[in-house]
Amino acid sequence: MMRPTRIGVLRETKNPPDRRVAITPEQGLHLIKTFPNINIFIQPSDIRCYTDAEYRKAGFFLTEDLRECDILIGVKEVTIPTLIPNKTYLFFSHTAKKQAHNRKLLQAVLKRNITLIDYEYLCDKNNKRVVAFGYWAGVVGAYKALRARGMRTDSFDLPPASSCHNMDEMYKHLKTISLKPIKILLTGGGRVAMGALQTIRVLHIKEVSPEEFLNNEYSEPVVCRLDPEDYVERIDGSEFNLQHFYNNPQTYRSTFKRFTKFADLFIACHYWDPNSPKFMIPEDYKENDFNISVIADISCDTQGPIPSTLRPSTIASSFY
């Protein structure tokens, strides 16, 4: 009789600390019920969003030593000293794009004969990713954008998202605020943008078109979402074509500057190709009619299309 496959749930070791976990107690019980030939072991953690006591109550065995496990599953990069040779690991490694800061991690994985399964490259039959956090980045990022706006204007105060037990609690706090007649601008049409819109819609904010955003005044807060054709144009004057833009981003120039004169809060949720035009340049910020007071760059391309994105912020220090 074959012994059960042993799955070890890793304690997150990356700094700043990450409270997420790859398998929750409820999910673990579902997996064991669905696949009786697996056992799940939990590495203790004092920072995880689910406590060790919750795993024990669900019947899981907690252990520091996961060397007997076949598959080790986490969320973010695993620190090199904790890598166990000859195992299969699942986590976001951030190495497939040749990220220099994780080169040593990939080298250690190879040297220790580890099979690495990176969530970022798990796709369905239509080549669509099955594990992606972009939507939730949008959900929380938009909340942080509104929190920053309240702090910047001293109009309202929201607790940090990280202090909320779950999304319902976060939205409960959000529903207590009242926005003045501001114009919120959002770029992107993918998972991140849809998550951000979900949060903004909690406040029942009127959604307007780019033309309305630029030309109309409102006595209530409004939000406008931009697609690429709204903020770039062909240099040669030809008609915009989305696929052509994806394939030839260097042949386009930005038209985004016109929106900076009317937007109060800018939430960036777009995908950006390094060969495509930058949204703004530093000099734009200095112009008298530059109206944006808060930028929430969820896309976070450092040294990219938004010149004020000098570095990523952290959960502990979200604003600069």
- Please state, in angstroms and rounded to a whole number, the distance separating the CA atoms of residues 143 and 158: 9
The 3-state DSSP composition of the chain as helix, strand, coil percent (nearest 5) reads 30, 15, 50
What is the rounded distance in angstroms from the CA atom of residue 24 to the CA atom of residue 50? Answer: 7
Whether the pTM exceeds 0.85: the reply is no
On the 0-12 / 13-18 / 19+ scale of CB atoms within 10 A, 282 is exposed
How much is the pLDDT for 1? 60
For residue 315, what is the enclosing H or E element?
none
* Residues 96 and 146 placed together within one structural domain of the fold: no
Tell me which long-range contacts 239-245 makes (C-beta under 8 A, separation of at least 24).
Answer: 245/276
Strand order of the β-sheet with 183-187 is 206-207, 222-226, 183-187, 265-268, 294-297
Query: Which of 65, 91, 121 represents a domain boundary (last residue)?
Result: 121
Q: Are residues 80 and 17 in contact, defined by beta-carbon separation less than 8 angstroms? A: no
**Which CATH number is 81's domain given?**
3.40.50.720
Residue 251 lies in a domain: yes
| Cα 93 → chain centroid | 15
Domain boundary among 72, 94, 121: 121
The range of the structural domain enclosing residue 77 comes to: 5-121
Closest by CA to 174, choosing from 159, 184, 162, 185, is 159
Is 240 within the bounds of a domain? yes
- Is the same domain home to 146 and 76? no
Token look-up 């998972």 returns: 191
Does residue 36 sit within a domain?
yes
Instruction: Confirm if 183 and 264 have CB atoms less than 8 A apart.
Output: yes
Same domain membership, residue 141 and residue 239:
yes
Can you list the residues of the chain whose pLDDT is less than 70? 1
Half-sphere exposure at residue 178, Cβ-oriented, CA atoms within 13 angstroms: 0
- Residue 117 within any structural domain of the chain: yes
241 is a domain residue: yes
Question: What is the reported pLDDT for 239?
Answer: 95
